[in-house]
Copies of this chain bind each other. A is one copy, B any other.
């Protein structure tokens, strides 16, 4: 799929929902912008793997989930965490490693928040393939009606457990949705250096899993494609695989210039920036005015800023806190 102003039929979505998803995307963009500014000012230790340009995928996917559903999210930006309901306060408490965070500040960048179904972000790519299978299997065994969404990047589709995971999901008809953001980059290399085929989703076919490819710049499209897969899973009809075509409109991480990316590609994709796409539709359909959008941005800035300020003002973990919590219960 190419970027640019391709004429498309707009994917149906409730105006209110579109506005809410827009708000979430703005919040994500704001949080990452502020994060980046802090890094530029050398005020913060934690490198960012920002998801700029990909917000529609994370926000669209998670909009199809219930709060009780499980999500295995990625390192690429915080859209999924925001979409799943993790608050800015909790995110920043963890980022600053403060004991008030949901993981007592032990997670750091490895965000987890069990009250909203965020099971944990692993640092070794693909380590969570099988963990997600376990979570979905758990729901099947417990008949709790939950769906597990496994989110990953196209580069991670090369990792060991990928095929085994598709096989297990299909074998047991698990309520597991694969949401793959194909952002065309794997660190400093184009994905054609990593993946044998242009599309990854058709691999699902061979494992007996239905698949689709969705526009990752349009939050309504990402939402709709995921919803279809989630509904199928919820009906007990097993896994589905959705590939979102998108583009990492920035470097791999905050510490590198991304010099290997062609400026014209970046420009082309920025024309279809997911916030822009949503804004145009909100305006065109008369759902929101520019003024209302500015208010959304202001509110987002306030929300992020206050969460950052709070986290920053809290004390570092103590040695006692650091050393404890390896085991559940008391171990001598």
Name A residues whose Cβ lies closer than 8 Å to a Cβ of B: 157-164, 166-168, 170-171, 194-197, 202-208
Contact = CB atoms under 8 A, between A and B. Distances in A.
Contact of A208 (B170, B171, B194, B196): B196
Task: Please name the 10 residue pairs, one residue from A and one from B, whose CB atoms are nearest each other, closest first.
Answer: A163-B163, A203-B206, A170-B196, A160-B160, A171-B196, A162-B163, A206-B206, A197-B208, A202-B206, A196-B208
Stoichiometry, copies per complex: 2
A interface, over-half SS: helix
From A167, A202, A204, A208, name the one whose CB has the most chain B CB atoms within 10 angstroms: A167
A164 B160 contact: yes
B205 A206 contact: yes
10 contacts: A157-B163, A158-B164, A158-B168, A160-B161, A160-B164, A162-B163, A163-B163, A170-B196, A171-B194, A205-B205
From A197, A202, A205, name the one whose CB has the most chain B CB atoms within 10 angstroms: A197
A171 B159 contact: no
Contacts of A170: 196-197
Contacts of A168: 158, 196
From A160, A161, A162, A196, name the one whose CB has the most chain B CB atoms within 10 angstroms: A196
Contacts of A202: 205-206
Contacts of A171: 194-196
B203 A197 contact: no
Contact of A195 (B167, B196, B203): B167
